Amino acid sequence: MQDEGLSPDAVTLRCVLKACGSIGAADKGYGQVRKHAIVFDLFNKMLEEGIIPNSVTFLVVLNSCGSLGFAKEGQMYFDMMIKNYGIVPNRDHCTCMVNLFGQSGHFDRALAVIKRMLSSNHLTMWYVLMNACQKWGNVFIGGACSIIERG
């Protein structure tokens, strides 16, 4: 479209985000190319138009919140996903929340997410938390993550 000199309008962008969310490709979209403002704008426009977000749509929004360090907003979207849309968080959603809290320096909240997981497969979450600990210089939790990661 852009090769032809045309710019997508809001309707086109909403359709693209909805289609990507439906096929599981949204995590390779705007959030991956650091266009987080578009992610939030499209999400809000979807809601305004009565389009119901799905699990992948929330994954994109949570990833953007994590990339920007928006812990409060990320928690709001996570709660909205559960309470308003009845979406049960999966491992990917919880990993996003661990990243979100870890990158924001809220290690207690990141650990709480991991502890609440029903599955015992938390390796990715521990790795994400270990990376956040490296950013913040938290050697205590980072060291514990390293031990857990090595099993």
Judge if pTM exceeds 0.85: no
Residues 34 and 72 in one domain: yes
Q: Which residue has the higher pLDDT, 61 or 38?
A: 61
Residues 37 and 14 in one domain: yes
Last residue of a domain, one of 42, 70, 88: 88
Q: Which domain holds residue 136?
A: 91-151
Average pLDDT of span 50-77? 92
Token pair for residue 141? 């939790």
Residues 54 and 68 in one domain: yes
Residues 4 and 39 in one domain: yes
* Backbone region of residue 81 per phi and psi (left: phi > 0; alpha: psi in -120 to 50; beta: other values): alpha
Q: Which residue has the higher pLDDT, 30 or 99?
A: 99
Domain count, the chain: 2
Q: What's the pLDDT score for residue 23?
A: 43
Q: What's the pLDDT score for residue 7?
A: 64
CB distance 37 to 64 below 8 Å: no
Last residue of a domain, one of 42, 62, 88: 88
Average pLDDT of span 63-82? 93
pLDDT in tens, 115-141: 887 666 677 887 888 788 777 777 667
Last residue of a domain, one of 36, 69, 88: 88
Residues 77 and 138 in one domain: no
Q: What's the pLDDT score for residue 28?
A: 47
pLDDT in tens, 21-57: 544 444 445 554 457 788 898 899 889 989 899 998 9
Residues 77 and 101 in one domain: no
Q: CA 133 → CA 38, 67, 98, 103, 139, distances in Å?
A: 29, 15, 11, 8, 7
